[in-house]
Amino acid sequence: MTAPRRPPTRLVLLGHPVSQSLSPVFQNAALAHAGLAARYETMDVPPERVRETLESLAAEGAAGNVTIPHKEQARATCSRVTPLADRVGAVNTFWPDDDGALCGDNTDVGGFDELVLTALDAPPSGVRVALLGAGGSAAAVLAAVERWPGCEVAVWGRGGERGRALAERFGRIASAAATPDAALTGARIVVNATPVGLAADSAMPVDAAQLPPDAVVVDLVYRRDGAPTEFVRRARERGLRAVDGLPMLIAQGALAFERWFGFAPDREVMWRSVR
């Protein structure tokens, strides 16, 4: 699938909640820099209205992104998806095709790859990953790790059954962990793919004291005010290397921009807008 011949003039981020997102800040900066008339806005949509909202947006020629907790439902709504979005089972980027069909991609995978490279000195190889979470973001992490040579993932989800089901889908590299401790044992990379910490409070997915002493912590959550998340802060206090999700947000947003318009945005402009 390629960018639509008629570029969208309206871009929307669907989520619930969604007011904390920085996406409008850097996307509107990139749009203005590129001389495009489109504007990017947020839309708080409850789960029962996701399908009708996406279909209505596609009918008017709008495109956009999807965030927590709607990514899997967006995949089910799209008529056409990229192989990567199909593998993940979640869509975070959508647009209408020239015939009006709703298309979807998952740019979280590429965004996560770039986030990990900001935390490590080299691409991962032969490491054990502890993955906390079992939703659409966690599936994107697994789709990325599948491409890393010799890596394995221990998946722990708070719901139990979702974590087991996700691990089975990616059974070549993943196994379900019964407890957070079991997931963390021997992990070189620890990924928080839960929404815990999104509310900018002191909540953490696991106690930082449980983290392996040589682990690299990757938190997909970020704080709108630029401060590190509590999980990142506590990990750094223990002397661990830790990064939050802002580099991933910018990277996946840049990849989405390219999907909508057929050319890459100026990433430095995006970064300047959020700094």
Residues 133 and 232 in one domain: yes
Residues 263 and 148 in one domain: no
Over residues 96-111, mean pLDDT = 94
pLDDT in tens, 40-63: 999 999 999 999 999 999 999 999
Whether 3 has a pLDDT exceeding 80, the answer reads no
- Pick from 85, 41, 30, 48: nearest CA to 63: 41
**Cα–Cα distance, 85 to 106 (Å, whole number):** 5
71 annotated active-site: yes
Q: Output the six-digit token pair for 275.
A: 């700094």
Distance of CA 190 to the CA centre of its chain: 15
Element (H, E) at 175: strand 174-176
* 1 is a domain residue: no
Are the beta carbons of 221 and 231 closer than 8 angstroms?
Answer: yes
Query: Which among 71, 75, 234, 259 is annotated as catalytic?
Result: 71
Element (H, E) at 181: helix 180-184
Q: Output the six-digit token pair for 244.
A: 């939050």
Q: What pLDDT, on the 0 to 100 scale, is given for residue 166?
A: 96
Residues 67 and 123 in one domain: no
* 186 is a domain residue: yes
Question: How many separate domains does the chain show?
Answer: 2
* 197 is a domain residue: yes
- Domain range for 57: 10-106+249-274
The maximal CA–CA distance of the chain, rounded, in angstroms, is 54
Residues of the chain above pLDDT 70, percent: 98
Q: Output the six-digit token pair for 10.
A: 């309206």
Contacts of 243 (CB under 8 A, 6+ apart): 115, 118, 119, 217, 218, 219, 232
